[in-house]
A and B are shown apart, each in its own frame.
Chain A
Amino acid sequence: MSVPKTMDRMTVGDTLATYEFRVTPEFNRRYLEALEDPHPRYLSASGGRAVVHPGLLLNQSNCTRSPGFSLPSGMAAIHAREVTEFLHPAGVNTLLRVHFRIIDRYRKRDRDYVVVEAVIEDEDGTVIMRRRSANTFSRGGS
């Protein structure tokens, strides 16, 4: 039986398991509170559907959310750089899926970087957001 690769060992072309979640109004509200951003569009736009807070989309599309994500004990992933494209609003109560793929890996100033592309889609396959995040690693005792 093969042992799953930890994130720090992943290479270009590797994928992480898809992460699926539904955005309830309560879940959305958690991000409004975290970011001090209680705009009405996230609660229920006048007569319309409440929109998922972009902060929720950003956090929930971190590679650490994948059920396949792991790192050696005592190691953490740290965001270094990021490119994000917002392509379509997501409505509250929507089921969202995040697909993860490693698209680059490099070493700079004695640190390893792994670049992950995360694509969020809704139930109809509409792409909501696309991100490319460069992650480096922090290790205890190093």
Chain B
Amino acid sequence: MAITAHEAQEGAELEGTIKVVTLERMRAFSGGPSRNIHTDEAFARQCGLPAPIASGVMSEGYLVALMLDVFGDAWLVTGRMELAFVRVVQPGDRLTPKAVVRQRQPQGAGVQLTLDVWCENQHGERVTAGVATGTVR
């Protein structure tokens, strides 16, 4: 069970469950009416990539799940995330969403948290990183 926003103090470290990226999951996430670099090997090669790469938005989805653990449904009305996609994610990678509470500010009867957030691969490298903010009452 993740720590909640009401409990989280500055410096608290949070970690979500490990996510395994597979081509099947990439196709479920990014599939659509036309071929794309996330779902089709030949199309990825045509576009100069060695193989399909996961959409950066998949790792954003992993981070959103961690934020929902922390903020609950309040994230769906107050959540804000600013991210950079810094490293390619390929099938077989194992990503862990992580966060550290940078700032905790009272907001009336509630609290606003600002967190450093990132997804880390199995080599300990950050693939997506940025800042998230949310408020709970």
Q: Do A and B come from one complex?
A: yes
Q: Which residues of A contact B (CB under 8 A)?
A: 30-31, 33-37, 39, 41, 51, 53-55, 58-59, 62, 64-65, 73-76, 78-89, 138-142
- Asked if residues A86 and B36 are in contact (CB atoms below 8 Å), the reply is no
- The total of chain B residues at the interface (CB under 8 A) is 40
Q: State whether the Cβ of B125 lies closer than 8 Å to any Cβ in chain A.
A: no
Question: Which residues of chain A come closer than 8 Å to B84, judged between CB atoms?
Answer: 80-82
Q: Bound complex: CA of A37 vs CA of B64, how far in Å? A: 10
- Asked if residues A74 and B47 are in contact (CB atoms below 8 Å), the reply is yes
5 A-B pairs within 8 Å (CB atoms) are namely A35-B19, A35-B29, A53-B61, A76-B43, A141-B48
Question: Which residues of chain B come closer than 8 Å to A81, judged between CB atoms?
Answer: 82-85
Q: Which residues of B contact A (CB under 8 A)?
A: 17, 19-20, 25-26, 28-30, 32, 36-37, 43-49, 55-58, 60-62, 64-65, 68, 73, 75-85
Q: Bound complex: CA of A141 vs CA of B17, how far in Å? A: 38
